[in-house]
Amino acid sequence: MIKIFSAGKIVRLVNSHHLFDPQPGSILLTVSSATEMSDFYHELISSKDINEICFCNSNELFLFDSFSSMFKLIEAAGGLVKNNKGDYLFIFRKGKWDLPKGKIEKDEAIRTAAVREVEEECGISDLTIIKEIDTTYHTYFIKEQAVLKPTYWFEMTSSDASVLKPQLEEGITEVRWIAPKDFNMVRDNSYESIMDVIAEL
């Protein structure tokens, strides 16, 4: 199953109707073509009565390719970084707590991009990737261009105890180590996709 945050709603791509959890405001649609998915999506995404759209087809790759065809794809990578004290690295950008991440450059390996973006956005070094964790998906607009962004997340560690330096030119105003016991401050002012990532802990 693939979960996508889109225009204030959740879109799920599932290969079996048994994966659909019927709830108020949710709808299950079996689709057999990209055109069919596009028609349903554009009809329902602005509906005030629907908050979750579940597209079903036995071929999950077909579903993702069909959904992606409606957007420009921009891939990103980032990190959930823990220090020697067991605290986790967060950034504050555009008025919300977030995790460091950024666009993967042309011909750049995903893991390399994840480490580079954390280093650049937080002014940190000595990063070690422990494992790959969740991939999140969300849509947004750049001017009038609809974008789908998959973000590949990695659990990392760092023993760098130097002063953190937010990448101000990227709109980051603060970088902070936050203990798990204080995660409520993040949960109260963050994005649902980030909540999915820290739920991995």
Indicate if 167 and 194 belong to the same structural domain: yes
Q: Report the alpha-carbon distance of residue 120 to residue 100 in Å, rounded.
A: 9
Of the residues 45, 68, 91, which one is the last residue of a structural domain?
68
Query: Residue 140 corresponds to which tokens in the numbers above?
Result: 């947004």
Indicate if 14 and 94 belong to the same structural domain: no
- Domain span at residue 180 reads 73-198
Q: Report the alpha-carbon distance of residue 134 to residue 153 in Å, rounded.
A: 6
Give per-residue pLDDT as tens, 97-131: 999 999 999 999 999 999 999 999 999 999 999 99
Residue 172 has pLDDT above 90, yes or no: yes
Indicate if 97 and 127 belong to the same structural domain: yes
- Could you say which DSSP state residue 47 is in? -
Give residue 15's pLDDT band: very low, low, confident or very high (50, 70, 90). Answer: very high
Of the residues 68, 95, 114, which one is the last residue of a structural domain?
68
Amino acid 200: pLDDT: 74
Give residue 14's pLDDT band: very low, low, confident or very high (50, 70, 90). Answer: very high
Indicate if 168 and 77 belong to the same structural domain: yes
Give per-residue pLDDT as tens, 136-171: 999 999 988 999 999 999 999 999 999 999 999 999
Polymer length in residues for the chain: 201
What CATH number does the domain containing 153 carry? 3.90.79.10
Number of separate domains in the chain: 2
Indicate if 92 and 174 belong to the same structural domain: yes
Indicate if 64 and 89 belong to the same structural domain: no
How many other C-beta atoms are found inside a 10 Å radius of the C-beta of residue 85? Answer: 9
Indicate if 60 and 128 belong to the same structural domain: no
Indicate if 64 and 150 belong to the same structural domain: no
Q: Report the alpha-carbon distance of residue 148 to residue 158 in Å, rounded.
A: 30
Indicate if 107 and 124 belong to the same structural domain: yes
Amino acid 74: pLDDT: 97
Indicate if 8 and 61 belong to the same structural domain: yes
- Whole-prediction pTM: 0.93
Q: Any idea which residue has 């077909």 for tokens? A: 62
Indicate if 109 and 156 belong to the same structural domain: yes
Indicate if 36 and 128 belong to the same structural domain: no
